[in-house]
Amino acid sequence: MTFQIKSIETLINEFRKLPGIGPKSARRIVFSLLGQSEKEIKDFAGALIDMKEKVRFCKNCFNLSEEDECPVCKDSSRNRETICIVEKPSDVLVIEGTGEYRGLYHVMGGLLSPIENIGPDELKIPQLIGRISQLNTTEIIIALNPTVEGDSTATYLSKNLKPLGVKITKLASGLPVGGDIEYADQITIGRAISGRREM
């Protein structure tokens, strides 16, 4: 369905590029924006530009940051002897949301993938090794997705970091809280059994 008003059509197309937004949602959003004041629209556009200009990567852990060091690295109350390895910056946000973790992070920016030519250097692994010796890290927590790529990257990390004399753990795999054994897949149940804990 084409629309004959060019600036509206252009904006609908911009929204359609975003993840999870289809043609009907995009139209609905644009028509709701048409009802907003000039100030509100300028604030929205300004927030877009502002984010792009300000956000960069932390020089230590490659988390997102508006400064050289991210808020986690700068926080002196955090435990500097533990590093949690995650795939992407949004994972930091999720883990921070739990309030369960008070150590540092290392954001790899991807997972090992020989097909896509992503090797250890692309994943900031040399930098990670540098930090481990500099910080006298005692524990590395591997928090990668429990997928084929995540597991093989975890295995690679474990094999290459163990010689540094650091304890390596990874997130527990098992039934999600609130989940139902009846609907869980066999691999998940298998991992939940092998990783069972004494009560």
Tell me, what amino acid is at 166? V
Q: Which stretch binds its own copies (CB under 8 A): 7-15, 77-85, 163-171, 186-194?
A: 7-15
Between residues 74 and 159, which has the closer beta carbon with respect to its own copies?
A: 74
How far is 108 from 61, CA to CA, in rounded Å? 8
What is the smallest separation between the CB atom of 43 and its own copies, expressed in angstroms?
A: 7
53, 98, 150, 172, 193 from 176: Cα distances, Å: 38, 15, 18, 10, 13
How far is 74 from 105, CA to CA, in rounded Å? 12
What is the smallest separation between the CB atom of 15 and its own copies, expressed in angstroms?
A: 9
How far is 107 from 131, CA to CA, in rounded Å? 12
Compose the 145-174 pattern: x for residues touching its own copies by CB under 8 A, - for all others: ------------------------------
Q: Report the DSSP beta bridge partners of residue 113.
A: 118
Q: Does 118 bind its own copies (CB under 8 A)?
A: no
Binding residues vs its own copies (CB under 8 A): 1, 3-8, 10-11, 14, 18-21, 25, 27-34, 36, 38, 41-52, 54-55, 64-66, 70-72, 88-90, 93, 96-97
